[in-house]
């Protein structure tokens, strides 16, 4: 499994939000590129970047910081947050990121996902499904929908999406362990699609629990708060 260290950007800084709550922010660094370089130096093979302002505003906001990150490191990274049209997708890919993550727009305009896959290739387009009580949430987790998260994943898989990031909002930033049951269920339903788990991973035990699910299409896990709070090192997670 790949461990994806997360670099969440707000106001050009590296921060973490608690359960996606913009009023519960912790600033970890004024220079996100230094954090990115640190994760690379500690053995990270792929970074997960989030433009938190972008997710809220509906268009990419922190592209300068993203470009600095891409120039500072030589491992690939992906970016999500506010990419909701063709122009924005192109602008983000031009910063140097390897792939983009579509969340809100994927739920609201699935045809755009198809168009972007056609233009840039399936490997460069990731769909992010953020779930709360089994239902998809959009617009930076600020809006709940009645869309069943698993049914949504199946539809995207059938559409040609090859990678889905599944975030369990209830566990994100809580250091309480991932929702293994939900992850396993999703992996079973979309066998032809790679799944990356996000939310709650805070220890070696959590990574082992995900690995023990023994799902071939579970590609990895995104880890944020636990790394920044020093609860676990990237090396320990990689060794697990």
Sequential pLDDT tens for the chain (240 residues): 999 999 999 999 999 887 678 888 999 999 999 999 999 999 999 999 999 999 889 999 999 999 999 999 999 999 999 999 999 999 999 999 999 999 878 888 999 999 999 999 999 999 999 887 777 776 544 455 567 889 999 999 999 999 999 988 766 555 678 999 999 999 999 988 999 999 889 899 999 999 999 999 999 999 998 999 999 999 999 998
Please give the pLDDT value at position 146.
65
Inter-axis angle of helices 149-159 and 180-189, nearest 10: 30
Segment holding 228, helix H or strand E = helix 225-228
> In this predicted model, what pLDDT tens digit does every residue of 115-149 receive, in sequence order?
999 999 999 999 999 887 777 776 544 455 567 88
Please give the pLDDT value at position 175.
63
Please give the pLDDT value at position 142.
47
List active site positions. Answer: 8, 130
45/211 Cα distance (integer angstroms): 18
Please give the pLDDT value at position 26.
92
Please give the pLDDT value at position 141.
44
Please give the pLDDT value at position 47.
98
Q: Domain 2-239 carries which CATH code?
A: 3.20.20.70
Please give the pLDDT value at position 118.
97
SS3 category, 77? strand
Q: Is 65 exposed, middle or buried (0-12, 13-18, 19+ CB in 10 A)?
A: buried
Inter-axis angle of helices 63-72 and 32-41, nearest 10: 30
202/199 Cα distance (integer angstroms): 9
For the chain, the domains span: 2-239
């Amino acid at each position: 499994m790949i461990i994806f260290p997360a670099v969440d950007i707000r106001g050009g800084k590296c921060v973490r939000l608690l359960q996606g709550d913009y009023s519960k922010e912790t600033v970890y660094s004024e220079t996100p590129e230094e954090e990115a370089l640190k994760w690379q130096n500690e053995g990270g093979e792929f970074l997960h970047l989030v433009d938190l302002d972008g997710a809220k505003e509906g268009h990419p906001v922190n592209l300068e910081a993203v470009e600095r990150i891409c120039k500072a490191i030589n491992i690939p990274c992906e970016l999500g947050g506010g990419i909701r049209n063709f122009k924005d997708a192109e602008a983000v890919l031009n910063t140097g990121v390897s792939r983009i993550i579509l969340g809100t727009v994927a739920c609201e305009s699935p045809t755009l996902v198809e168009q972007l896959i056609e233009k840039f290739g399936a490997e460069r387009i990731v769909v992010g499904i953020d779930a709360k009580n089994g239902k998809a949430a959009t617009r930076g987790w600020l809006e709940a929908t009645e869309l069943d998260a698993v049914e949504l994943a199946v539809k995207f898989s059938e559409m040609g999406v090859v990678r889905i990031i599944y975030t369990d909002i209830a566990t994100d930033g809580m250091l309480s362990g991932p929702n293994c049951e939900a992850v396993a269920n999703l992996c079973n339903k979309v066998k032809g699609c790679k799944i990356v788990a996000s939310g709650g991973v805070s220890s070696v035990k959590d990574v082992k629990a995900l690995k023990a699910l023994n799902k071939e299409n579970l590609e990895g896990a995104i880890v944020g708060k636990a790394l920044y709070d020093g609860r676990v090192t990237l090396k320990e997670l990689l060794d697990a």
